[in-house]
Structure 1
Amino acid sequence: MVDLVANNSTNPGKLRIAIVGTGLVGSAALLALSGLQDVEVVGFEKSPVPREAGAWISLTVTGQLVLTKLISPEKINEIVYRPPDRAVYVTRHWRTGEDLVRQYSSEHIKEDFIQARTHRWPLLKLLMDHHPKDAVQYGKQVAAVRNSDVGAKLEFANGETTPDFDLVVAADGIYSGIRRQYWPDHQVQFKGAVAYRNVFHKSRVAHIKELHDDSSSWRRDGEVVFLSELGLDQYGVVIIKTEEPEYAATLRWERSISQEGLNRLRDHYKDWDPVISKVLDTVEEIQAYPLDSGPWLRELTRDDRVVFIGDASHPTAGAYGAGAAMGFGDAWALYRSLELTRRRGRGRRETAGYDLHKALQVFQQTRAPFLLRVEQQMALDRDTASYVAEAAGDEDEWKRRFKESGASIRWLQEHDVELEVLKAVSTVGVWKI
């Protein structure tokens, strides 16, 4: 592929799209947008090579519905784990392991789309395997977007710039530099908890007879322990633990915590369900990720040139385990918004038949209301958690309140992105296709 930094030629016959950040969400966007007619899509990644980073993720029904539009279900099924009884998560009492709440995928959902678990790296590799050849340029840290009447250039940290792009997709994550450029007052800050996590071969825990064959979460007053098989013979542990900012700061750049830190975790959870201690005793190392969050965007586009997706748009670590799936929904909504507002005839404001103003209107109307509802639900759940925690001294009352508060979030996990795009298209009033 021609190095766009070194070659200043442009292709006026195609819509030129730059994707900043090629993690899971950026890679899904690159794959989707490359399927449009008359486009040239280039990804820019600051890492010098693809990174084998991250632990496990939940693949919601929504996430899988999007991914299977890009990759065959058979390929996805090769890397995921689904519990045998269609349960999304089994929520357990922190001390006894008692089954408190079971969430299920809807009965009408086909087997290929029941909510699943997988490891980030195999999923990222699967997406990259389907990218157009040489579609990503590595070692390119984007410092800023420079808009003009004719397009948007990317400026890199080393001072180099690209030719003009028609559209820039900011998929550069929770610490998005492009988001900070447009909203310098939006600060991402520590939210009071640290995620401790690791993925390892499931043979390490095969001797634990009490281990469940589902995806389980044990909860106590804001703290959560997740245990689940992940597919590809992998097993995962994630612990969300409240920590003081000073201690979290010592973990921020270390990632793999010390043996002393691991023993500290084991000691903290020794009074929880014994199966947790048995799993932690097998763990040789664990990584720490202080959880940060910032204000979610209300306006998802700027200047008819820049659009924000994934954590660059909704910067919260750990939103119902659905952050990646929401990002996949963003990517699909952007693809369909462009596709459904394109026509063969070209007007003065159009490139290759695309009217970015209308397309980004459709995208905004598709995603903004849904994301606002998710953010509002998170606020409600914080209030509910406080209500449950007030009964910590009375175990029966605590369980009653916990079960009472276990509202379904199927509306999030099974959100129909395609339907919402079509509704937005009818609202915006585009031409007849």
Structure 2
Amino acid sequence: MAAQLRLVQAAAPELPAAVFDPARLAAVVASELLDTEPEENFDDLARLAMAVTGASMAFFTVADGTRSFWKSALGIDPTMGRQNDIRDSPCHLLIGTGEPLIAEDAVTDARIKDLAAVGALGIGAWAGYPVRNPDGQVLGGLCVVDGQARPFTAAQREALKTLARSVSSEIALRQALRSALASGHASAELARTLQESLLPSRMPEIPGLDIAALYLPADTTGAEVLGDFYDVFHTRGTHWCAVLGDVCGKGIEAAKVTALARYTVRAEATQHPRPATVLRRLHHALVDQQISDRFLTAALTTFKVAADGSLRGRYTSAGHPPALIRRAEGTVTELHTPGTLLTTLLGPDEIRLSETVFTLHAGDALLLYSDGITEARTRERGPQFGEENLAATLAATAGMDARATLNHLCAVVAEHTGGHAFDDTALLLLRVPARP
């Protein structure tokens, strides 16, 4: 293999050395994506990339040392085939730098203007983000193309970045499944990997805000994928989005809906500032793609930290339990916005969503939660913990930081249930710290 690589490098000295890195080439082979047929999961992500950017073409490419293979290629003439020489494709630049490449005027951009693909595909503008394997090796890229020079907004770039990560996550799940099957522990290994991929690895640091989240699975063996999820992410400028959802049921079908919900919300929230619009677009995606008949409830807020230190946001709910606001002095109120749960049984225009605005001042907190906490009860099916107990317990946390608040809620619920859980529970708390 080393001798072959030296021959290829000698023939193509203009290509970045990273293209021929043996570890990267091994990762491309291990992905088992080269020379395979188009697949709905990857095409869906490419299609969403076109939708959020308004581009005329979208590609998910995987590149070895000689060619750029188009695993997904939307908007092109099918007679063009599904690959080109890696020298001709901007994809080798993604591999070389490991960074995004945005060429708003491909014909004059010195980095790509001389590439054969610019003329062959009629590229006027090109935007691409690296796609990686679980070890961080760049396998290729997710890119969009337009026939005319054009700008890509910050929101569109953020959406493409999110979708490229979603492609990377899909690849990681497939490799985890193959590894789990080979080890003979497929169920538990796949479930654990799926669950980890559906939740953020850590909460972002937002100046002026204290954030904490907890996920408590009912299945402590880790052998099943559960349906609760949450996420907090930057959208544009000073604005952020927080979402918590609950997919009916568990297992692979629930995971499919959860994955679609998470990457769709991330992409749409960078384009639309109104939370009701984001959830409406999620409903359209569920209806359009028909990946499962599982229904989904979700609570979503878009917000920013104002100059005076307060958090100002908009909130909407799609059939989800109402969010709770705990004020600094300990009073608790509901954010109740009537809304239809999201399901493929309803047409694109049949759901009803509403919004409310809210403000958090110093010491105030917003709690998003799934019904696993209010429906918690003992193994003998005693009384549920209930909404009143949740509100009273939250009121008693005045003065606690976000992590301590969630830990206190979980401790009180565990005492109520004797440590038993019938359903998984997700909790997400946004708190404006008290001023010294």
TM-score (normalizing by structure 2): 0.24
TM-score (normalizing by structure 1): 0.25
- Does 1 or 2 have the higher relative contact order (CA < 8 Å, sep 6+)? 1
Which protein is bigger by CA-based radius of gyration?
2
